[in-house]
A and B are shown apart, each in its own frame.
Chain A
Amino acid sequence: MTKIWEGQRSPSAELMGSEYVAFDAERSELTTRFTPPPSFASPRGAVQGGLIAGFLDEVMGGALLASTEGSEHGMKLPLNLDMNLTFISMVPLAPIIAKGRVVKAGKRVAFLEGELYDEESGKLLARATSTALPTPVPGAE
């Protein structure tokens, strides 16, 4: 059976062209490929800064989902309380590799982090950290 974070996609994940690449259970690290849609372009011809957070949220959330699968309290999705983003380089309208990790997942709060890389050059493009509430997966209970 396909695992939920490998197969099912929410409308926003669909929009961002999300594809599962790998999950490293030891590091609680999910790797995803995104193909930014042309509709994310700013007048600069690259992804609008704010929308870059969409990819980072998606991969950080997926990391929490994957790492809590089969855990004592069940699978969890993050409900974000805050997110801090650092923009290192412009994100082109070309495939990017995203890595998301669970720094700590407590019962009441989860700390997540993630990065985006240019798939072709491997160059770091953006980073994020997030504080979130772990909540049950909608429809899974």
Chain B
Amino acid sequence: MDDSENNPGAFPPLAIDSVMGSPHSETLGSEFLGFDEETATATMRFTVKDEMTTWRGGVQGGLVAGYLDDVMGYAYVAATGGEQAPLNLEISMKLIGLIPRGSTIVGKGWVVRAGRRVIFLESELRTEEGQLLAKASSTAIPTMRPSPTETGMG
């Protein structure tokens, strides 16, 4: 059996380097699971923090975009070996299931097409059992890898 699906390659060190310690990663409870170079797909795990949720007991709808953006963004960061990052122009998302307080979810994000001027990305979130929770697509422009003092926009 081909186990590459379950054991994607390690995240490129430079890509991890560029995002470690970013405040939003802490808020999202992000953890890198791997990156598959062939399909330009990043896999991450998120632990839902209580402060992300509403009275319904799940993540506030808008904030779901935080997880979706994170994993598709890192797919591009990893695909460029940590040299570039996407700057979003637009995100469209569908919210399919409630993401309960305290749950752990798995995100997959991939690069649909990376042009010189425009990037197309997609992502989805699932329960650990594989049930689909949300999907997104994004249109973005590539920028150099940002740092806390440089936006990367040159």
Residues in A lying within 8 Å of B, measured CB to CB: 10-15, 37-46, 48-58, 61, 77-87, 90, 128, 130, 132, 137-139
Contacts and interface: CB of A to CB of B under 8 A. Distances in A.
Contact of A53 (B22, B56, B63, B87): B63
Dominant SS at the B interface? mixed
B24 A15 contact: no
Interface of B: 18-19, 22-24, 26-27, 50-56, 59-70, 73, 85, 87-95, 138, 145-149, 151-152
Dominant SS at the A interface? mixed
* 3 cross-chain pairs, A with B, having the tightest CB-CB distances, nearest first: A57-B62, A50-B69, A80-B61
B151 A12 contact: no
Contacts of A43: 18-19, 22, 85, 145-148, 152
Given A37-B27, A51-B65, 12 more contacts: A11-B53, A41-B23, A44-B151, A45-B151, A50-B68, A50-B91, A53-B93, A56-B62, A79-B56, A83-B95, A85-B65, A138-B55
Given A53-B62, A138-B55, A44 B152 contact: yes
B23 A12 contact: no
Nearest to A78: B61
8 contacts: A43-B146, A44-B87, A53-B61, A53-B62, A81-B95, A82-B93, A82-B95, A87-B88
A67 B67 CA distance: 30
Contacts of A45: 146, 148-149, 151
A47 B114 CA distance: 23
Contacts of A130: 61
Given A11-B51, A138-B55, A58 B148 contact: no
B140 to A, nearest CB: 8
B87 to A, nearest CB: 8
Given A12-B60, A82-B92, A87-B89, A50 B70 contact: yes
Given A43-B148, A44-B151, A90-B151, A14 B51 contact: yes
B69 A48 contact: yes
Contacts of B26: 39
Contacts of A40: 23-24, 27
Contact of A41 (B24, B63, B67): B24
A39 B66 contact: no
Contacts of B64: 50, 53
Contacts of A41: 22-24, 148
Contacts of A61: 61
A1 to B, nearest CB: 19
A88 B33 CA distance: 32
